């Protein structure tokens, strides 16, 4: 027994020193590589275990019943319709008060959100509303609350997922922006689960004339006229000013304009004339004050005037 137990190690030792050095190096490298691969796989499995455990609950499957077994097209592999679970996103963009762009903190995937139940304000308050939304959520984490209604999380035509957004302190984001007048209630894409609450918050903001419900979007109300059923003596008649003294009408006949005098010609050229003034005789030549040479001629049968030579 003792000799047999020592034969295997001795044989391995003799084989080790009998083979070439290149073979021994290859054996050592192969063993080291296998050890590194096994350790890497083990560490990777340990790192992914917590994430996969909390990533998302499994999709339940429909269990066949006596009635469903006879229906056409219904199998046990068909997933049951269910709402999307709550998830947390980090907001990285705010195009408007009702649109948020973020990244899922669990999957690190981009998420485009349309806040349920609200819409952006008109251009008269769009910049102020967006700044208010940026102060609330940009660079922060918010929670997208699940909706139990079927089809509530279907993307809209722009690819955005409608969702109810909750701030880090638990307050409803839609309530907050509606209360400050930075958004308006919207039911065009479907009623939100808390639509009645949103309408009440908007009514309070409108009555208080906050945000979009005040200037410049909504002008100040004009003062109401005094009531007409007031009792009391009638007001004294207002004394009208005396009529103005009648002035004589202006003369209707105006004397004809006096044509400008042209200095006598010197050497056949009239000096000191003005271009555009009336002149005579037609064909005469002249020099303006600026020294420009002009000719007296008519245009289209009109009275001759000094024109450019």
pTM (two decimals): 0.46
Phi-psi label, residue 108: left if phi above 0, alpha if psi -120 to 50, beta otherwise: left
Summarize pLDDT for 136-162 with one digit per residue, the tens: 999 999 999 866 666 666 788 888 988
Q: What pLDDT band is residue 54 in, cutting at 50, 70 and 90? A: very low
User: Tens digits of per-residue pLDDT, 4-21?
Assistant: 445 566 777 777 777 787
With contact defined as beta carbons under 8 Å apart, do 74 and 68 qualify?
A: yes
Asked if residue 237 has pLDDT above 80, the reply is no
Contact assessment for residue 180 and residue 132, using Cβ atoms and an 8 Å cutoff: yes
pLDDT for 93 beyond 90: yes
Residues whose CB falls within 8 Å of the CB of residue 308, separated by 6 or more in sequence, listed in order: 275, 292, 294, 295
Q: Measured at the alpha carbon of residue 120, what is the angle toward residues 117 and 123, in degrees to the nearest 5?
A: 160
């Amino acid at each position: 027994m003792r000799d047999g137990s020592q034969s295997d190690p001795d044989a391995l030792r003799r084989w080790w020193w009998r083979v070439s050095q290149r073979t021994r190096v290859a054996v050592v490298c192969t063993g080291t590589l296998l050890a590194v691969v096994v350790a890497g796989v083990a560490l990777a499995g340990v790192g992914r275990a917590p994430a996969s455990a909390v990533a998302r609950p499994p999709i339940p499957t429909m269990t066949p019943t006596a009635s469903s077994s006879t229906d056409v097209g219904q199998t046990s592999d068909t997933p049951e319709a269910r709402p999307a679970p709550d998830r947390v996103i980090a907001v990285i963009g705010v195009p408007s008060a009702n649109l948020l762009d973020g990244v899922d903190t669990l999957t690190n995937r981009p998420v485009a959100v349309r806040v349920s139940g609200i819409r952006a304000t008109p251009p008269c308050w769009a910049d102020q509303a967006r700044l208010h939304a940026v102060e609330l959520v940009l660079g922060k984490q918010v929670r997208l609350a699940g909706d139990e209604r079927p089809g509530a999380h279907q993307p809209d035509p722009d690819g955005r997922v409608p969702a109810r957004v909750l701030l880090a302190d638990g307050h409803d984001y839609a309530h907050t922006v509606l209360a400050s007048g930075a958004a308006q209630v919207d039911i065009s894409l479907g009623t939100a689960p808390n639509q009645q609450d949103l309408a009440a918050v908007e009514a309070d903001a409108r009555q208080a004339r906050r945000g979009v419900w005040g200037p410049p979007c909504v002008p100040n109300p004009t003062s109401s006229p005094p009531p007409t059923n007031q009792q009391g003596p009638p007001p004294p008649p207002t004394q009208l000013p005396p009529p103005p003294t009648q002035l004589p009408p202006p003369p209707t006949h105006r004397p004809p304009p006096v044509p400008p005098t042209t200095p006598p010609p010197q050497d056949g050229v009239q000096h000191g004339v003005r271009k555009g003034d009336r002149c005579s005789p037609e064909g005469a030549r002249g020099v303006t004050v600026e020294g420009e040479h002009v000719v007296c001629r008519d245009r289209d049968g009109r009275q001759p005037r000094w024109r450019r030579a």
